[in-house]
Chain A
Amino acid sequence: MERLPDQEISGSQMSFIGKVLATFSHELKNHLAVIKEYTGLIHDLFEMKKPGGNMSEQCLQSLRSINGQIDKTLSLILYFNRFSHRMDAPVSSFDVNAAIEELLILIHRLANQRRVKLEPEFDREIPEVHANPLLVQFLLFCLIEELLLRLEGGGTIRVGTNRTGGNLVVRLATQGKLGPPSVGQRVCGEEGFGLALGTLGATVDRSGENSVITMTMPVKSS
């Protein structure tokens, strides 16, 4: 059965959401694993009552670690909650910097696995964009994943935003050794990516120096 354009975008987006969910759940589980180890340690210290050592300090340190992990988990859940609500309306006015920051936080583990740092360089003065925020995040994720796959041995991806005339420009610049473009297979197919670009009225330019990729889209009219 022939897939309609909407289905093409939906299928690609589902893959993207799946990857974000997987990364989020993995991160959450890691924080919980630390909490469980430290609660177990406190339990052991009380139950075993080994002579010598500094039980009070060990317990306090464990509690500090538990607290720290809970804070990290709450922060992550907050970002995930915001991401989830991007899907409440198909089109809305939103702060692109916030949407990108959210994406970078949620996928930092993916980048970390490749020893890549994701660094935001936002222009705080850019206006809101009136578009589908999830599509924007989806396209950026595709481009970032492409670079993650191409960066050999780690590096940095700097994600910058700025306004040029009536357009918002998102710029991805890498530091590190880049493999050939053929290595970067995206989570979405070419058609899904292309259709998403068309829906947003956005363009992608890969011809920048040092493999800078820019994505340009119209801002909201004031």
Chain B
Amino acid sequence: MPKPKILILDDEVEFASALAERLMLRDYPARAEYRAEKAFDSIRQDPPDVVLLDLKMPGMNGIEFLRDLKRSWPRIEVIMLTGHGDPSYVDLATREGAFDYIMKPVDITELTAKIAGAMERRSQG
């Protein structure tokens, strides 16, 4: 069974690129975007199954992006990437439809488990 397509959206270019490479080594079709506007174009062209979304980005915060994403693509699952794990932000993200969150620096094993969980939820409709 093919692995889910992953889009990483994070303004930290090197972080997102390295994470994408690590996921690709594990046979996930993964790509990275660094700006929200370009990410929407990328999603329109090739919708991913899961988006790994930075909570805080210049000019547009992750919660706003999540809201807009879910409005247009409700079946795309989202896992928030956060450096501080502020419970209020995490709660808000979950209410807006995020599947879960993961702290940066990322534990790759934990991440792939969360991706599997997100896909499980999606398969349950």
Contacts and interface: CB of A to CB of B under 8 A. Distances in A.
Interface of A: 26, 29-30, 32-38, 40-41, 44-45, 48, 50, 58, 62, 65, 68-69, 112-115, 153-154
- Which DSSP category, helix, strand, loop or mixed, fits chain A's interface? helix
Contact of B104 (A30, A41, A112): A30
Interface string B103-124: 0111010000000000000000
B100 interface: no
Interface string B47-76: 000000000101100000000000000000
Interface in B65-99: 83-84
A35 B15 CA distance: 8
A44 B58 contact: no
11 contacts: A26-B84, A29-B104, A30-B12, A30-B15, A30-B83, A38-B14, A40-B108, A44-B25, A69-B14, A115-B59, A154-B59
Contact of A38 (B18, B56, B108): B18
B105 A33 contact: yes
B15 A33 contact: yes
B39 interface: no
B44 interface: no
Contact of B15 (A34, A58, A62, A68): A34
A115 B14 contact: no
B25 A29 contact: no
Contacts of A30: 12, 15, 83, 104
Given A29-B83, A29-B104, A37 B18 contact: yes
Interface of B: 12, 14-15, 18-19, 21-22, 25-26, 56, 58-59, 83-84, 104-106, 108
Contacts of A68: 14
B15 A40 contact: no
Contacts of A32: 105
A34 B21 contact: no
Contacts of A65: 14, 18
Nearest to B12: A30
Given A41-B18, A44-B25, A62-B18, A36 B105 contact: yes
A178 B21 CA distance: 41
Nearest to B81: A33
A26 B18 contact: no
A29 B106 CA distance: 11
A34 B19 CA distance: 9
Given A30-B12, A33-B83, A112 B58 contact: yes
A179 to B, nearest CB: 15
A45 B18 contact: no
Given A40-B108, A44-B22, A112-B58, A34 B14 contact: yes
Nearest to A154: B59
Contacts of B104: 29-30, 33
B93 to A, nearest CB: 18
Contacts of A40: 18, 22, 108
